[in-house]
Amino acid sequence: MSPVRAVLFDRDGTLIEDVPYNGDPGLVRPVDGAREALALLRERGIRTGVVTNQSGIARGLLTDADVRRVNRRVDELLGPFDVWAICPHGPDDGCHCRKPEPGLVLWAAGRVCTAPADCAVIGDIGADVEAARRAGARGVLVPTPVTRPEETAAALHVAPDLMTAVRVLLDDPPAHDGPADGHPRREAFGPAPAGNAGEDPPPGPSAVAEPHRRRP
């Protein structure tokens, strides 16, 4: 497999603790291992980015400014990231950026001048890895207590934590999610996750582009 040149992360539930519709930078808490995983990528010269659905904007629960403040705090704690892609749309808006649509991943890959096939997406729900698949990137699911068991079962590549996911991407890149033979190969990296045996810049991204099926 070709080496991974960029890794794109979901934000809420993957890089930071999930606080529904958070507009308060003071509530930002990195998940365990996030700093170390990102440091390892940057040491290897891998570009990093965030692809996040933020439908709270469309729902009137957040403003664009709220999201940018929270993102700045994430960047202070875990950055600098090479690209941010934020979808402000709701699930019924029909946009092409909201995960599981591929728009955010494609836009972010273009911003870091990397082919989608040389990118990986790490997230905590099925919409994250599905967006990767549709974009032609590699997707790795890192389940959390809110990840649905069926999402974990359907994911081709599953890791118990961020560091394991990053190490595998660097040292033994998984196959793309849509192999030419039509028979995807499912892989689990490391021990099975505890709990479940196994989250949301518009089409021309304003770079403000959240899946949160747990937030209908």
Nearest 5 degrees, angle CA 77-CA 80-CA 81?
Answer: 110
Q: Which one from 10, 66, 118, 177 is the annotated catalytic residue? A: 10
Alpha helices in 31-176 (DSSP H): 34-43, 64-78, 103-111, 126-135, 149-154, 162-171
Active site residue 200: no
Q: Which one from 12, 18, 118, 200 is the annotated catalytic residue? A: 12
Give the pair of three-digit tokens for residue 165: 């996911």
CA distances from 29 to 39, 185, 199 (A): 17, 34, 16
Active site residue 10: yes
Phi then psi for residue 116, to 5 deg, are: -50, -35
Local structure of 205: helix, strand or coil: coil
Please give the positions annotated as active site: 10, 12
